[in-house]
């Protein structure tokens, strides 16, 4: 069987089940009357170049200080913010990026994420990419998980898996994204794509963390029958 984004999705979904990403603390936002989508935006920035376990520690600090709101981060002292997000690493840069996007949302959208996301996807993406420290993966994570908009997120795990299997695409961000979206558009209705992109990205992360690691563990991988690189991978680390 030829492995396509569709067959990849079906195999991983059958193996791991629904992941229901993005993780967020709904109870916290219910208690504080805050917008959980902003937690996703914050998390998308904090997760740059670090493990999610470190992001969770930083988010806990922000919640403990009741700071997970647009205006509150916009108004926060930079040194205090740096200390709270220190567990996520690169905290000086990330604090500036958080204050920048919060100030932007406050000044331009009056803290209203409904207004921000209720526009053409391409327009929102261009706007996000114009902000300091927001690259394609961060922008697309915000669009998909906070905006509930149909765009496929490509991360280092996706590139690794596309290279190893291999799949019929080069490994640049745009080429992988366009390939996955083109192929999945053939199989799903437009109103289904957001959920499919959401689950597939999460499932690829699970696959990479459990099997397709830098030094892979191929024996129990659900894709072992399809992986053309498996005979050499046990001796490599990349």
Residue 26 lies in a domain: no
pLDDT values of the chain reduced to their tens digit, one per residue, 238 residues: 678 999 999 999 999 999 989 999 999 999 999 999 999 999 999 999 999 999 999 999 999 999 999 999 999 999 999 999 999 999 999 999 999 999 999 999 999 999 999 999 999 999 999 999 999 999 999 999 999 999 999 999 999 999 998 888 888 999 999 999 999 999 999 999 999 999 999 999 999 999 999 999 998 999 998 888 765 554 444 4
- 96: domain CATH number is 1.10.340.30
One domain, residues 53 and 14: no
Check whether residue 226 and residue 133 sit in a common domain.
no
Whether the Cβ atoms of residue 147 and residue 175 lie closer than 8 Å to each other: no
- Count CB neighbours of 217 within 10 A: 12
Cβ pair 49, 89 in contact under 8 A: yes
Q: Are residues 55 and 126 in the same domain?
A: yes
**Domain match, 46 and 142 both:** yes
The C-alpha atoms of residue 31 and residue 43 are separated, in whole angstroms, by 19
Domain identity same for 107 and 128: yes
Is residue 69 domain-resident? yes
Query: Are 175 and 220 contained in the same domain?
Result: yes
Q: Give the HSE-up count for residue 15: Cα atoms under 13 Å, Cβ half-sphere.
A: 19
Instruction: Look up the domain containing 10 and give its range.
Output: 5-20+154-233
Segment (H or E) for 121: helix 121-129
């Amino acid at each position: 069987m030829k492995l396509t984004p569709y067959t990849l999705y079906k195999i991983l979904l059958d193996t791991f089940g629904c992941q229901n990403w993005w993780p967020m603390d709904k109870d916290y936002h219910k208690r504080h009357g805050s917008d959980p989508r902003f937690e996703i935006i914050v998390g998308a920035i904090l997760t740059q170049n670090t493990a999610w376990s470190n992001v969770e520690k930083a988010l806990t600090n922000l919640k403990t200080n009741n700071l997970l709101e647009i205006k509150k981060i916009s108004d926060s002292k930079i040194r205090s913010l740096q200390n709270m997000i220190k567990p996520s690493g690169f905290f000086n840069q990330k604090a500036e990026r958080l204050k920048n996007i919060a100030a932007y949302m406050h000044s331009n959208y009056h803290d209203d994420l409904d207004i921000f996301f209720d526009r053409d996807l391409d327009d929102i993406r261009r706007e996000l990419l114009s902000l300091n420290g927001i690259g394609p993966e961060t922008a697309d994570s915000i669009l998909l998980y906070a905006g509930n908009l149909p765009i496929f997120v490509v991360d280092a795990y996706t590139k690794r898996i596309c290279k190893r299997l291999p799949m019929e695409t080069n490994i640049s961000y745009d080429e992988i994204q366009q390939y996955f979206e083109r192929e999945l558009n053939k199989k799903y209705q437009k109103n289904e794509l957001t959920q499919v992109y959401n689950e597939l990205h999460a499932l690829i992360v699970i696959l990479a963390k459990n099997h397709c690691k830098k030094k892979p563990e191929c024996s129990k991988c659900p894709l072992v029958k399809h992986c053309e690189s498996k005979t050499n991978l046990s001796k490599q680390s990349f």
